[in-house]
A and B are shown apart, each in its own frame.
Chain A
């Protein structure tokens, strides 16, 4: 089956000017400007099949947004190929564009000074949405996202969450097959985030839309995506099923120990960590506070390790948690940096 999205040996280089500081630097740049090439993406291979829900994460400058821009045809590739719905992304025709949608969390596309409903009517014309479908979808989406009574309010008078919900309604009105969401939950409260996540998951399941979600929030990815792609310095660091990561999650436990503050004269608790049987339980010390310690340990060995902790340390309180996805992502980043 032909993939909906395909990147092959994709590379993007931006050329930026370098300006030295101070008056001399300014004068030099007036006469002869120096340029520097910045590699944003390097040899990225990616194939996304119809109906997949892919999470794209990475640190700032990792190349996430550049990848989205290349796949949606906003910018051309320096080399390699980016294809969307079987066609070179930078040369998409209206036929392909009408099956695509893009939501940018940091850039509102609905006009600030007028109610969202006016912009939706323009979108209806642009995407040639039949009136009946338009009305049905608009009412349905507005109800699911709980903004029915806000459709006729000037966008500038809506909260950040309500504005983002309007953006999402606008993006889904034409029932797109491929949707890119670039940090759609940035700055939103928990309730709005949850509503948007639920909406996206339902849409993916009910309509079979392919969704690529870019986010810094690992919780967004965990709650919605089936597949995770981690980018680091323009390269794909990890690409796989989130269930596979889940196995690693369930296979690990994070134990946080709060210690009795029976302090020594120096103010630090007297601890003999060497007495802890870390090797025996394959445990690792993953964090240390003034009166607390954190360990990661395989799930099967957590019970025995907890007993050992009580035996060796003045434990006041202890919690055992499933290892968060964020920890694993950090671990993958760390491994990637080590090469």
Chain B
């Protein structure tokens, strides 16, 4: 029964969320279409400025073109990753709007899950044609995936990692049961996660030891590795092995994040005083 009911509820919540994000046209374009594009594009400009020459060397044996191409694909794939501003949980806790959901016969997590489904489907509908178009138009700056299998490996890791980001941000939002500085915490945590995931600086410009350390984190397998997998710069066997390793790492992270999120939620729930009601 639950196996049927919860997916139905999540789908209904996804439709509801879609209605919310499309309520205002300007908000829709800014938050859904252009979100996450500014920073990678700024980084492209930074890389080009740092190199001094359009086709020069950006780092030790790394061409500017490969670094820029990496950032362009990051800009596209990052749009698929769940964003902390997709959730309203902390606002709902602060302002007491969450109160009524506690009296309703459903697990609250259905709403964030609905937002996740809505966000993923909408961003896929944006990213797939955008990537196709850009890779046809400027293939040297926006390379297409090597083939369909590499594209699948890459996108499946991004989406699995995006689920980790949902759990990560949900936990941080739930800290609003205790803290009044959740937004600051979210901004700091996001910057750290972006850096670990190679979304601020291409991994090819990082020291090997730093790359090895970041490979233990879920952001690394959510974006840095999927971009490299899509480019197809390694053999098929090695790519398949990395894909499996990525799925295993992300699965372990997901289990850990589920446990943390559930603990924080349940403890916060007991602490909740329904302020503002």
Chain A interface residues (CB < 8 Å from chain B): 14, 65, 69, 72-76, 94-95, 97-98, 100-102, 104, 106-109, 111, 113-114, 118-119, 121-122, 125-128, 154, 182
Contacts and interface: CB of A to CB of B under 8 A. Distances in A.
23 contacts: A65-B274, A65-B277, A74-B103, A74-B272, A75-B272, A94-B105, A98-B105, A102-B100, A107-B97, A107-B100, A108-B97, A109-B97, A113-B23, A114-B20, A118-B16, A121-B12, A121-B16, A122-B12, A125-B8, A125-B12, A126-B105, A128-B5, A154-B23
Contact of A107 (B5, B24, B96): B96
B99 to A, nearest CB: 6
B20 A113 contact: yes
A113 B97 CA distance: 15
Given A65-B277, A113-B20, A102 B103 contact: yes
Interface string B27-59: 000000000000000000000000000000000
Contact of A119 (B16, B24, B272): B16
Nearest to A109: B100
B9 A126 contact: yes
B142 to A, nearest CB: 35
A114 B19 CA distance: 7
B277 A106 contact: yes
A97 B104 contact: yes
A75 B272 CA distance: 7
A119 to B, nearest CB: 7
Contacts of A97: 103-105
A104 B101 CA distance: 12
Contacts of B273: 14, 75
A177 to B, nearest CB: 13
A251 to B, nearest CB: 38
Contact of A74 (B9, B105, B274, B276): B274
Interface in B85-127: 95-97, 99-100, 102-106
Interface residues of B, number: 27
B219 to A, nearest CB: 31
Contact of B19 (A65, A109, A118): A118
B227 interface: no
B25 interface: no
A107 B8 contact: no
A262 B276 CA distance: 53
Given A65-B274, A97-B105, A101-B103, 8 more contacts: A69-B274, A104-B100, A106-B277, A107-B100, A109-B100, A111-B20, A122-B12, A125-B9
B196 to A, nearest CB: 31
A80 B273 CA distance: 17
Nearest to A176: B103
A125 B13 CA distance: 9
Given A76-B270, A113-B24, A125-B9, A104 B277 contact: yes
A93 B96 CA distance: 22
A117 to B, nearest CB: 10
B10 to A, nearest CB: 10
A251 B142 CA distance: 87
Contacts of B19: 114, 118
A246 B272 CA distance: 40
Contacts of B105: 94-95, 97-98, 126-127
Contacts of B12: 121-122, 125
A119 B23 CA distance: 13
A56 B23 CA distance: 38
A107 B277 contact: yes
A56 to B, nearest CB: 14
Nearest to B114: A122
B74 to A, nearest CB: 31
Nearest to A72: B103
B46 to A, nearest CB: 36
Given A65-B277, A106-B277, A74 B102 contact: yes
Shortest 6 CB-CB distances between A and B: which pairs? A94-B105, A113-B23, A97-B105, A125-B12, A98-B105, A109-B100
